[in-house]
DNA sequence: AAGTCTCTCAACCGCGAATCG
DNA sequence: ACGATTCGCGGTTGAGAGACT
């Protein structure tokens, strides 16, 4: 394996030692392949196509001893007839010693799906949550495996929503499913002090994209840090840390009553906490757990039913300015639209485009079959 | 056995962002 | 401020292997 070879090489390359590099793979040039293996760029001919072990060796030797301060100069310095771009790609995607090869684990697959639901096709960002994996690898795995798996389960791999009946081509479609894009929406934006941001980050980590079968595990504790995490959130924590960074992001999957629970009351400068959903407005009024309110115990009720109930509730409360208490936190129903929370340093957290990412149900990730989904009424 | 199809994945391409002079 | 260069990313391609007919 090139990676192992690279590791071995690096181990032996602490100085200008004799290179003990073994050709990482059997390379037997196919006379039929690469009919035009060279591309003229200016006066120089640049080789294209698959890399030979000799080229790998040259590149590894060069980078491990000199680094790659400038990729465009690497080919010349390394004695390769390649463009810098090709060298960079080869190193990053194949020769880097810290790469992990082999099949993706279930956990990795889960992480990819979860992060993809939030970030979309940002393969480089997704790969950052998978140590030793490259964006190219993740992208290929998505296109070749996960995508098909989701489709076969009746989910749109782009939106992560359930496909409409007409789009589902086989009998694997779930018995009860929704075509709606989401049950809930949060359109809250925050600006916060760093300590508040820490809480937000930590609270976001408590958001589980997974379906839960035990509803009692979902309510976040209203502690000062206000976090209840919920099964294997390590990666999500990282993800939401990222979400609190420079990118606009999405927060998903509140439909299963996994909560954001942030005790802003501890912040002297806080002015409120807005949770909204543009259709049902249910969290704010039902303690975040709609199926407790409307459905049989431990059952999640259908979307349409929820909507009906929500509309009734909304009508009842429409003209009121009430304050609701949830887990020791107060909400008001005027917060059905975006509500800004302002903290000291003016930093901000952007939930802008959460809507499309909000899943009606945690799906396909930590479940063995579609039957495990708690959609049945 | 041979031809065709499908799938995987390494590599390329083009574009936008960042950096440099 | 601006153009050139470099970098990084996502989409796409195509070779090769295996499955299927």
CB A354 within 8 A of CB A187: yes
Distance of CA A15 to the CA centre of its chain: 41
SS (H, E, C) chain A: CHHHHHHHHHHHCCCCCCCCCCCCCCCCCCCCCCCCCEEEECCEEEECCCCCHHHHHHHHHHHHHHCCCCHHHHHHHHCCCCCHHHHHHHHHHHHCCCCCCCCCCHHHHHHHHHHHHHHCCCHHHHHCCCCCCCHHHHHHHHHHHHHHHHHHCCECCCCCCECCHHHCCCCCCCCCCCCCCCCCCCCCEEEECHHHHHHHHHHHHCCCCCCCCCHHHCCCCCCCCCCCCCCCCHHHHHHHHHHCCCCCCCCCCHHHCCCCCCCHHHCCCCCCCCCCCCCCCCHHHHCCCHHHHHCCCCCCCCHHHHHHHHHHHHHHHCCCCCEEEECCEEEEHHHHCCCEECCCCCEEECCCCCHHHCCCCCCCCCCCCHHHCCCCC
B17 C1' – A180 CA distance, angstroms? 36
Distance of CA A201 to the CA centre of its chain: 15
Q: Identify nearest nucleotide to residue A94 by CA to C1′ distance.
A: B10
C7 C1' – A262 CA distance, angstroms? 39
The residue among A268 and A316 whose pLDDT is bigger is A316
pLDDT mean over A336-341? 27
Confidence of residue A112 (pLDDT cuts 50, 70, 90): very high
Residues 6+ apart with CB under 8 A from A1: A24, A25, A101
pLDDT tens, residue by residue, A69-97: 788 888 888 888 898 889 989 998 889 88
Residue nearest to nucleotide C5 (CA to C1'): A72
B12 C1' – A342 CA distance, angstroms? 47
Q: How many residues does chain A have?
A: 377
The residue among A203 and A284 whose pLDDT is bigger is A203
C16 C1' – A33 CA distance, angstroms? 10
A48 touches strand C (CB under 7 A): no
Nucleotides of B under 7 A from a protein CB: 7-14
A33 touches strand C (CB under 7 A): yes
pLDDT mean over A16-38? 36
CB A228 within 8 A of CB A261: yes
pLDDT for A37 equals 54
pLDDT mean over A121-141? 90
Nucleotides of C under 7 A from a protein CB: 5-12, 15-16
Confidence of residue A141 (pLDDT cuts 50, 70, 90): very high
Q: What percent of chain A has pLDDT over 70?
A: 31
B1 C1' – A144 CA distance, angstroms? 30
In whole numbers, what is the pLDDT of chain A averaged over residues? 50
A37 touches strand C (CB under 7 A): no
- Of A67-81, A155-169, A296-310, minimum mean pLDDT range: A296-310
Instruction: Give the residue from A73, A77, A21, A85 showing the smallest Cα distance to A47.
Output: A85
Residue nearest to nucleotide B7 (CA to C1'): A144
C8 C1' – A22 CA distance, angstroms? 30
| CB within 7 A of strand B (chain A, 273-332) | none
pLDDT tens, residue by residue, A188-237: 223 333 333 443 343 343 333 333 322 222 222 222 222 222 333 333 33
């Amino acid at each position: 394996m090139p990676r192992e070879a690279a590791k071995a090489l690096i181990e032996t390359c602490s100085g200008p030692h004799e290179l003990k590099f073994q050709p990482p793979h059997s390379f037997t040039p196919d006379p039929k392949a690469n009919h035009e293996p060279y591309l003229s760029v200016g006066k120089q001919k640049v080789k294209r196509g698959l890399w030979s072990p000799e080229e790998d060796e040259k590149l590894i030797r060069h980078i491990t001893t000199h680094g790659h301060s400038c990729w465009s100069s690497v080919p010349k310095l390394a004695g390769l007839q390649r463009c810098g771009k090709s060298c960079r790609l080869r190193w990053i995607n194949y020769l880097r010693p810290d790469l992990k090869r082999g099949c993706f684990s279930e956990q990795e697959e889960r992480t990819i799906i979860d992060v993809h639901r939030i970030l979309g096709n940002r393969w480089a960002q997704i790969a950052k949550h998978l140590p030793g994996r490259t964006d190219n690898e993740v992208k290929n795995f998505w296109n070749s495996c996960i995508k098909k798996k989701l489709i076969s389960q009746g989910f749109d791999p782009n939106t992560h929503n359930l496909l409409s009946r007409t789009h589902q081509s086989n009998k694997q479609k779930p018995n009860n499913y929704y075509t709606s894009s989401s049950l809930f929406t949060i359109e809250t934006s925050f600006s916060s002090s760093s300590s508040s941001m820490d809480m937000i980050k930590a609270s976001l980590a408590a958001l589980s994209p997974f379906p839960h079968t035990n509803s009692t595990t979902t309510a976040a504790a209203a502690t000062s840090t206000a976090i209840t995490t919920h099964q294997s959130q390590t990666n999500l924590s990282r993800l939401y840390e990222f979400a609190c960074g420079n990118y606009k992001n999405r927060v998903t999957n509140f439909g299963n009553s996994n909560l954001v629970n942030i005790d802003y009351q501890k912040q002297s400068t806080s002015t409120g906490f807005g949770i909204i959903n543009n259709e049902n407005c249910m969290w704010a009024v039902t303690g975040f757990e709609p199926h407790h309110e409307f459905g049989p115990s431990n059952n999640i009720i259908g979307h349409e039913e929820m909507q009906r109930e929500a509309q009734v509730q909304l009508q009842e409360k429409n003209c009121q300015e009430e304050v609701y208490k949830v887990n020791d936190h107060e909400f008001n129903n005027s917060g059905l639209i975006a509500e800004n929370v302002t903290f000291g340093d003016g930093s901000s957290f952007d939930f802008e485009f959460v809507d499309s990412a909000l899943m009606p149900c945690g799906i396909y990730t930590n479940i063995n079959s579609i039957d495990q989904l708690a959609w049945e009424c």
